[in-house]
Amino acid sequence: MKAYNFCDPKNIKADVLSGLTVALALVPEAVAFAFVAQVDPLVGLYAAFIVGLITSLIGGRPGMISGATGALAVVMVALVVSHGVQYLFAAVVLMGILQILAGIFKLGKFIRLVPHPVMLGFVNGLAIVIFLAQLSQFKVSPTDPNSEWLSGATLYIMLGLVALTMAISYLLPKVTTLIPAPLAAIAVVTAVVIGFGLDIPTVGNMASIAGGLPEFHIPNVPFTLETLYIIFPYSLILAAIGLIESLLTLTLIDEITETKGGTSQECMGQGVANLVTGFFGGMGGCAMIGQSMINIKSGGKARLSGVAAAIFLLIFILFASDLIELIPLAALVGVMFMVVIGTFEWSSFRILHRIPKTDAFVLILVSGVTVYSDLAVAVVVGVLVSSLVFAWNSAKHIYARVGTTEDGKTTVYEISGPLFFGSISSFRDLFNPANDADDVVVDFRNARVWDHSGLEAIDGLAERYTRRGKTLHLRHLSPDCRHLLEKSVSMVEEDKEGDPHYGVFVDYNKMYHEDDEIADKAQKA
């Protein structure tokens, strides 16, 4: 059981109380995202329960919380408006299948390609999004985007209670850690509101959360190619967004807790969770950075904390809806504001002038796109820009030392740097076939051929010298390069002692599969 990390006997109390705190914070979030997707609040609550429970049990990151999220809701709304909620359930089922396939083919490994500036931008952008999402709670009707803002005494009381919640959350850990500070803050502020009869918005003002157990049903849609044509684009986008947000959250929690989660296992967990959710009337979901941070900061370390959060949420729906609906939104807003403060990488302000300008640009760009558009677009944009910058900078680092032998009959080029699509132009400019000796040696001992474009550049170089009737000798290429070039270039020389050993086409699947196995073993240990 220890290897599975379901719970630590010494930390059971903290895991359960942390789960309770997370469940309280999940209620308004799930309801709000359900309204964004234009579905019944219970559709969001069921998703938070089912996705949260299953990912906590079989996901790749103990302590990470999943549920209905805004990033998915904004995609779902177009499908719901155009075709109805049953098509949404079908799309969520297909979304789960796609995520399971991503886990089977270990596509989660590619999250390692996300550069650190993109991660910082993701964290900062998401913190801003969480903050902006809380502002709707300061409206007369929190679920109506056109509602008027609170004013007068109601607004001041609301702000005061938010400040009280934040103060308790900040100060209580300095006194005691017996109870999670966010849970204590919610309890105190709720008691104040009820005790003084304060008239401010509560969870009940958003919607009733009372309901029964989710029931199994197959989505009521035609099983035709036309239906697949309708839902597949949405399912693909939802699967991609869900995995990107989940895996980035996993990476963030890995850094905070100094532990290692399993990316492929998380893909499988998210997929199974969404597959099941679609058959039980839920809107699907993914990892939630805000609730995950609440859980980690409240002491939730093992899978038990996520399971407890899901079970408490179901209890709220079945038996305690009247009590939960009394909780003031100010208390939950205060808790989320503390999450924003704890999530935002304030150190990024200090390092902006010390890191390369391109990295600073990527950080700001990803933050802005996350707020303006959505997380998936922001990450893709950040990775593309970072990749182009890397390729451009790497292309500048290829050069050659040129000399001749003592007898003056041979020109020798000693190449250094990476040879790939970005540097082939510079590589061509290094040579002067017209003025070189009749015998030319190109030594690749200090160079690396990265891709097929590099091989084509070498092939083209051989043709340039051949047309002038000159002999070209290629030395110290890896066995992989020699094998690929021997079909078109006959001047490749073999030196078993001096040739480097690397592959032009690396077996990344094998390499990352081995890394995943190492990560799984480390997690179980």
Over residues 315-356, the pLDDT tens digits come to 999 999 999 999 999 999 999 999 999 889 998 998 998 899
**Domain membership of residue 231 as a residue range:** 9-212+225-351
- Do 294 and 287 form a contact (C-beta atoms < 8 A)? no
Residue 312 domain flag: yes
Both tokens of 358, joined, read 């391109």
With CA atoms as reference, report the closest residue to 182 among 311, 287, 335. Answer: 335
Q: For 505-518, how does the pLDDT look when each residue is reduced to its tens digit (9 = 90+)?
A: 544 444 444 445 54
Residue 258 domain flag: yes
pLDDT at 514: 47
Q: How many residues does the chain have?
A: 525
pLDDT at 488: 58
The whole model's pTM is what?
Answer: 0.81
Residue 399 domain flag: no
What dihedral do alpha carbons 387, 390, 393, 396 form, nearest 10°? Answer: -80
Matching residue, tokens 């979030």: 29
Neighbours of 212 (CB within 10 A): 8
With 0-12 CB in 10 A as exposed, 13-18 as middle and 19+ as buried, what is 182?
buried
Residue 217 domain flag: no
Q: For 166-179, how does the pLDDT look when each residue is reduced to its tens digit (9 = 90+)?
A: 999 999 999 988 88
Report the C-alpha gap between 209 and 45 in whole angstroms.
Answer: 8
Q: For 41-93, how does the pLDDT look when each residue is reduced to its tens digit (9 = 90+)?
A: 999 999 999 999 999 999 999 999 999 998 899 899 999 999 999 999 999 99
First to last CA, the chain: 11
Residue 491 domain flag: no
Q: State how many domains the chain has.
A: 1
Neighbours of 146 (CB within 10 A): 6
Residue 197 banded pLDDT, cuts 50, 70, 90 = very high
pLDDT at 487: 60
With CA atoms as reference, report the closest residue to 182 among 73, 25, 314, 385. Answer: 25
Q: For 249-299, how does the pLDDT look when each residue is reduced to its tens digit (9 = 90+)?
A: 999 999 888 888 999 999 999 999 999 999 999 999 999 999 999 999 999
Both tokens of 376, joined, read 């998936």
Residue 388 domain flag: no
Q: For 132-168, how does the pLDDT look when each residue is reduced to its tens digit (9 = 90+)?
A: 989 989 998 888 888 899 999 999 999 999 999 999 9
Residue 447 domain flag: no
- Do 165 and 24 form a contact (C-beta atoms < 8 A)? no
* Coil, helix or strand at residue 84: coil
Residue 494 domain flag: no
Can you give the C-alpha Rg of the chain in angstroms?
A: 29
- Do 313 and 52 form a contact (C-beta atoms < 8 A)? yes
Q: For 113-137, how does the pLDDT look when each residue is reduced to its tens digit (9 = 90+)?
A: 889 999 999 889 989 988 998 998 9
Average pLDDT for 466-485: 86
